[in-house]
Amino acid sequence: MTEKTHIKVLLIGFGNVGQKIADIIVFEKNKFSALNGLKINIVGIITRSKASLVNQKGVNISRALKEIKSTESFLPSNPDFCQMNGCRATEKLDYDVMVELSTLSIEKKGEPSISYVEKSLTRGRHVVTANKGPVAFAFQKLKRLAGENNVQFLCESTVMDGAPVFNLARNNLKGCKITGLSGILNSTTNYILSRMETGESFNEALKTAQEKGIAEAEIKNDIDGWDAAAKIVALSNVLMGADITPPDISREGISKVTPERIKNTLKRNKHLKLICYSKIEDGLVKASVRLEEISQNHPFALVSGMGNILRIETDLMGPIFITQENPTLYDTAYGVLEDLLTIQDHYLPSFRDISKP
C-alpha cells in the first residue's frame, strides 16, 4: 500500500536554482527515474521584486515558470498571485519544508534569510538551504533551534553544489574528527583564472560565467573572495564545530590579478588558484582564502574551469579528496532535491512509500 501524500514545500527565491528545480520536477522528471519517489507540492514561491505565488493546494509550477521566463515576473492575472514577503510566508503559510534559495548578503550578515530560517525552524518546519548566508553567519544558533524543535536544517548545495560533502561527512566519516579542510570552492574565480591562462581577458571570462548562471548575483561576492570565504566558513561551522563568520577570516580575491601575473606563473610551471583553508590551531578553527601558486603535479592544479575540489583531513583516516567537474545548475538543484528526499524518507515518515520495507 502506498500513502499518496505530498510534502508541502515553500520556496523562498525563484532565480536560477529555483527555476531549475521547478523545471526538473515538472518537465524533466521522466528523465530522472530515481526522483520518482519524491512527492512535492509547492505551496508558495516568494521573490523579492517579482511578486509571489501562494496556493495551499499547490501552485501551478509550469505557469509560474512560463510567466517568469517570458516576463521576468509573476502576473497579476495568475490566480495565485500575491505580494507576500518571505517573513510573512514563513510565519503564516502551512508547509512542511522551507527551501531557502535567496541571495547571499554579506553586508546584511546573511539577513533576511537567517530570519526566514529561524521562523521556519521555530514553527517546527524543516529547512533546506542552498543559500550560504544562514550557514556562514548563524549555523550554531540555527542548529540548536532545529534540535530544540526536532526538525532538520540541511544545506548540501551551499558548498560544491550537489556534490555530497556534508552527506559524506555525516554518513560516512562517523568516528572521525575532521581536523583540516582545503580546496578550490568558488567556480567563477577558478573559471576566470583558467580562462586567463588561455589568453582570455578577465571581463570576457566573467561574462561567460555569468551567462552560465554560476556567478553570484552580486559579482563582488565571487571576485573579492566572499563566496569562497562563506563556503570555507560554512564547512568549518558544520564539519569542525566552529562558530565563525566570513568577515572573521583573512581573505583575498582575484580582482587584482593581471594577465602578466598569470603568464609569469605559467612560466614557472605553476597555476594561480584561489585556495580555501581551515585548520585547528591552538584549539581554535582558523580559516582563510588565499591566492596561491600551485605546482603542476598538485591535485588542486588539475582542477580547471568551473571545477571544485575539497581535501578533507581527519584524525583517524587519511586525507580524502572530493572533486567536481564543471558543475551546472543541475548539480545545485540535485543537492536541494537530495536534501528533500532525505527529509521525506527519514524525517517525515508518513510520506514514505509504506509498501517498501
Ligand X SMILES: NC(=O)c1ccc[n+]([C@@H]2O[C@H](COP(=O)([O-])OP(=O)(O)OC[C@H]3O[C@@H](n4cnc5c(N)ncnc54)[C@H](OP(=O)(O)O)[C@@H]3O)[C@@H](O)[C@H]2O)c1
* Active centre residues (catalytic): 231
**CA atoms of 116 and 206, how far apart (whole Å):** 31
Residue with cell 581536523: 179
| 3-state secondary structure (DSSP) of residue 191 | helix
Cell numbers describing residue 322: 572530493
Smallest distance, ligand X to C-beta of residue 138, A: 14
Q: Coil, helix or strand for 158? A: helix
Task: Give least dist CB 172 to ligand X, A.
Answer: 22
CA distance 191 to 304: 7
CA-based torsion, 133, 290, 190, 155: positive or negative:
negative
Report phi then psi at 3, rounded to 5: -90, 115
**Closest separation between CB of residue 116 and ligand X, Å?**
7
Q: Is 352 helix (H, G, I), strand (E, B) or coil?
A: coil
Rounded to the nearest 10°, the torsion over CA 253, 256, 262, 265 is -70
State whether the Cα torsion 118-152-13-111 is positive or negative: positive
Q: Toward ligand X, which CB reaches closer, 18 or 183?
A: 18
Residue pair 6/310 in contact (Cβ under 8 Å)? The answer is no
Q: Which residue is nearest to ligand X (CB)?
A: 15
Residue with cell 554560476: 214
Choice between 50 and 109, CB closer to ligand X = 50
d(CA 334, CA 163): 9
Q: Which is nearer to ligand X, 226 or 300 (CB)?
A: 226
Instruction: Compute the least distance from the CB of residue 12 to ligand X, in Å.
Output: 5
Of 89 and 262, nearer to ligand X (C-beta) is 89
| Choice between 116 and 277, CB closer to ligand X | 116
CA 90 – CA 331 distance, rounded (Å): 26
| Residue with smaller CB distance to ligand X, 164 or 180 | 164
Shortest separation between residue 226's beta carbon and ligand X, angstroms: 11
Binding site for ligand X (CB under 6 A): 12-18, 46-50, 86, 101-104, 112, 130-132, 157, 161, 213-214, 216-217, 329, 332
Q: How far is the CB of 68 from ligand X (least distance, A)?
A: 8
DSSP state of 344: I
